[in-house]
Amino acid sequence: MKLILLYLIMGLCLPRVVGSANYYRIANCARIVENRDGKITVTERSNRFKKLYYFISKHPAEKNPIQTTELLYNCPYPEAFAAIASVESEFKRGAIGKDRERTIFQILNYKGNPLDNKQALATALQIFEEKKSNRSFNAAIKAYNGRGSKAERYKRLVLKKISEIRSTKI
């Protein structure tokens, strides 16, 4: 009965259920409902989270948009990395680029599990931070893809997607 009540509280978005003997967590794009030893808490999601979720969920290759949104939302540049994943792989897990780049972020010489988005994000953030040192944010986005006119087009596309995410009406 409690589980049915939790589903009703959650609303229309498809929930993600996590649980153990004394803990249940149901999360969707609007809120998180947690039951810890019978104590139920409901946490509303921010508009920023919802905008990010709607952008990510528009990509058919993304099979678990709640999990991916939670991962990206908690990184230092959530909109930027959602845009990068969209441009690089359209969120296709295990994507392999023409130069053997791997993960949804298309990382060259990636050594980890290409299906592990958490590990891939940590590597992509490290690369981005290296590119960002002594550069502007926009220059770091361009450098993430390389250099020259192709990288300039890439930067414009990523910045356009960032703007798309931020301007989403909730």
Q: Where are the beta strands (DSSP E) in 7-149?
A: 16-20, 23-27, 31-36, 39-44
Cα–Cα dist 137/132, whole Å:
6
Indicate yes or no: pTM above 0.75. yes
Position 68, amino acid? T
pLDDT tens string 84-142: 999 999 999 888 888 899 999 999 999 999 999 999 999 999 999 999 988 899 999 99
pLDDT tens string 33-62: 999 888 999 999 999 999 999 999 999 999
